[in-house]
A and B are shown apart, each in its own frame.
Chain A
Amino acid sequence: MTDRSPAAAPDAALVRRVLDGDVEAYAVLVTRYRSRYVRFATHMLGSVEDAEEALQDAFVRAYRSLARCEDPERFGSWLFRILVNRCRTAGARRGRRERTIVHDEIALRDAAEDHPEESVAWREEIGRALERLPLEQREAFLLKHVEDLSYEEMSAATGVGVSALKMRVKRACDRLRDQLREVYSA
């Protein structure tokens, strides 16, 4: 039997309902994508609090501009592109402001419970190394190796050419290797 509940509706149908004035249909899209995208924002910005803010902004901006979503079936990709931009803006504004460690307590706890073999020191070092990456390299690394996007998908999400993205990923990996070699070997 086909599930006709709003939660099972495809993105395009939900977008159409919102454009027709059903604001509450947007809540389904929020629920659908918030957990999927919060990890990227948290790694980019270094705290769940900042990630929430960026994610919230992305959802609101997407709603405000929903009529400009040319392919509603790919609402998720479109939203993600907005989120990437919000993270860039938020990250740039933070500048050298003191940041919290990327791997906040909640994330650490969850990971430690599932994978106790991964030491706290290892995760903290990853957090510090990630923080030291230039924003554009961090973004490229996360999209490629953590979010598992292809270079073409990364290019669509960032507006940056594939060659430049490959270079950013390579440089990010080189830096991470340099910074983590000691703790990795321990």
Chain B
Amino acid sequence: MHEGDEMIERVAMTLRRETAALSPDFDARVMQRVREEARVMGGIGVWRWMTRPRTIRVSPLAGLALAAGLAGVVAIGARGNDTETAAVPAVSPVAATSASPSAEQMMKFVFVNPSASSVAIVGDFNDWEEGGSPLRRMEKGVWTITIPLAPGRYHYTFVVDGTKWVADPMAPRTLEDDFGRPNSVITVGDATT
């Protein structure tokens, strides 16, 4: 075996042998949060979620509109830098400004869909809350929202009409979320991870 391979195998073996001891009350803390979730969801919330009619109003027109939809995000300045620059056409969601590395940056998300009744955004930055953060409708079916984000990498997606999850078509890459749906990724600042 090549010495380098032996080294990697020894590294792996060392790591495999390690055991991390969880806090004795770990299970209790998890279950406390789970019970709170169950209470908030009404006891049978999980089941109710599953049986709730969430998909999908299949309308050829809506489908076309979605297919034609555009979206994107642009950094429009660091927080504390009072003025937002003029609206800029959607660009790559990998964005950076000249702000200091740790400063929050004002990120403008843009989504174009003239036929949508509502558009929201959900992502790591709002903890994927159901309903998300609503975008404001501008002229000609353009929806926007500006969110301050610290440097880092965030997953997000748009929610159209409260039911349809749509990845940002302007994003350079998408990953599946926890549940197999497409996500978009935005990197704010010089996040190297």
Contact = CB atoms under 8 A, between A and B. Distances in A.
Contacts of A19: 46-47, 50
B176 A60 contact: no
Interface of B: 4, 7-12, 14-23, 26-27, 29-31, 33-35, 37-38, 41, 43-44, 46-47, 49-50, 124, 150-155, 175-180, 191-193
A65 B52 CA distance: 13
Contact of A110 (B15, B18, B37, B192): B18
Contacts of A148: 16
B15 A27 contact: no
Nearest to B21: A106
Given A93-B152, A177-B7, 20 more contacts: A19-B47, A20-B47, A23-B35, A30-B27, A30-B31, A34-B27, A38-B20, A39-B19, A48-B22, A56-B33, A60-B34, A60-B37, A63-B46, A67-B50, A81-B178, A88-B153, A89-B124, A103-B18, A107-B19, A176-B7
Contact of A67 (B17, B46, B191): B46
B11 A114 contact: no
A110 B33 contact: no
13 contacts: A30-B31, A34-B27, A52-B22, A56-B29, A67-B46, A85-B178, A92-B154, A107-B20, A110-B17, A111-B14, A111-B19, A159-B175, A160-B175
A68 interface: yes
A145 B8 contact: yes
B20 A104 contact: yes
Q: How large is the interface on A (under 10, 10 to 19, 20 to 34, 35 or more residues)?
A: 35 or more
Contacts of B193: 91-92, 94-95, 134-136
Nearest to A18: B46
Contacts of B26: 34, 52, 55-56
A158 to B, nearest CB: 8
Interface string A24-61: 10110011001100110011000010011001100111
A60 B34 CA distance: 6
Interface of A: 18-21, 23-24, 26-27, 30-31, 34-35, 38-39, 42-43, 48, 51-52, 55-56, 59-61, 63-68, 70, 81-82, 85, 88-89, 91-95, 103-104, 106-108, 110-111, 114-115, 118, 122-123, 126, 129-130, 134-136, 142, 145-146, 148, 158-160, 173, 176-177, 180-181, 184
A92 B155 CA distance: 11
- Which secondary structure dominates where chain A touches chain B? helix
Contact of B31 (A26, A68, A129, A130): A26
Contacts of B9: 145
A21 B43 contact: yes
